[in-house]
Amino acid sequence: MTFIPNAAALNVTWRKSSRSNESTNCVEFASSDGMVSYVRDSKDPSGPALTLTAAAHAAFITAVANGEFDFGLF
């Protein structure tokens, strides 16, 4: 994983889940070449981003789908 201080400086198209609706508590993803993806907080588009390998991105999505980040909130 690599830390990027200003996600707005990346030349990528950011996307968030269609299930987010108008929620402000979302993460957004972008990809530049299919090998690396980026993740940022949708509330802070000029804030930091993290780079993820394709394998790390897949593991993150699997963990989300399995409820590993719900922390008893739902």
Q: Residue 40: its pLDDT value, please?
A: 93
Is this model's pTM higher than 0.85 or not? no
- Domain presence at residue 73: no
Mean pLDDT by runs of 10 across the 74 residues of the chain is: 92 84 79 88 93 92 90 70
Q: Residue 73: its pLDDT value, please?
A: 67
- Domain presence at residue 71: no
Q: Residue 19: its pLDDT value, please?
A: 72
Q: Residue 32: its pLDDT value, please?
A: 82
- Domain presence at residue 57: yes
- Domain presence at residue 72: no
Q: How many domains does the chain have?
A: 1
Cβ atoms of residues 40 and 7 within 8 Å: yes
Q: Residue 33: its pLDDT value, please?
A: 80
Tokens describing residue 39: 């993740």
Give pairs for 29-35: CB < 8 Å, separation 24+: 29/57
Full domain range(s) for residue 44: 2-65
Label residue 36 exposed, middle or buried (CB < 10 Å: 0-12, 13-18, 19+): middle
